[in-house]
Structure 1
Amino acid sequence: MNQRARRARVIAAWILLAGSIIGWPLSMLTVAQDEPPFVLSLSWLAIILAAAELLTTSQVHEEQGEDKKTGHP
């Protein structure tokens, strides 16, 4: 994976994470008022955790790519 693709993946992960954190309370107050709060929260939490995992793995891949360039283990 090239540097540009890695960078795009990190940016996408940040956008997904921020959007999920903002979308959670907004959905509870607007379109999903009829949903049980616990179930809705579990759904949003699953999305947030997936976004955080994507961000973490993307950053690890980015660091590994930098290590290969510099020759550090």
Structure 2
Amino acid sequence: MRLRRARTIAAWALLIGSIIGWPVAAFGPARHEPQFVLGLSFLALIVESASLLTASQVHEETGSK
């Protein structure tokens, strides 16, 4: 049960970190990089984080029954 909850928390942390990290990177250390490529990279992280979150929430709900 704890491991399932930990996966969900980690997925939330990855999703929030990716959403916050995108503008921070765009206006900070990666401001000289092509913004389109940077955006695609962060978009891939956000999509995969959301996928992990969905899967971990389903796993948490079905495992608790």
TM-score with structure 2 setting the length: 0.96
- Distance in 1, matches of 2:60 and 2:2, equals 10
More contact order relative to length (CA 8 Å, sep ≥ 6) = 2
Question: Which runs of no fewer than 5 residues in structure 1 stay unpaired?
Answer: 68-73
Residue in 2 aligned with 1:16?
A: 14
Secondary structure at the residue paired with 1:32?
Answer: coil
Superposition deviation, residue 5 in structure 1: 0.3
TM-score with structure 1 setting the length: 0.86
Superposition deviation, residue 66 in structure 1: 2.1
| Aligned mate of 1:40, from 35, 38, 45 | 38
- Distance in 2, matches of 1:22 and 1:62, equals 26
What's the CA shift string for 1:15-37, capped at 9, x where partnerless?
00000000000000000011111
Q: CA RMSD in A?
A: 0.6
> Structure 1 residue runs of 4+, over 2 Å off?
none
Residue in 1 aligned with 2:49?
A: 51
Please tell me whether Structure 1 or Structure 2 has the larger radius of gyration of its CA atoms. 1
Question: Which runs of no fewer than 5 residues in structure 2 stay unpaired?
Answer: none
- Counting matched residue pairs gives 65
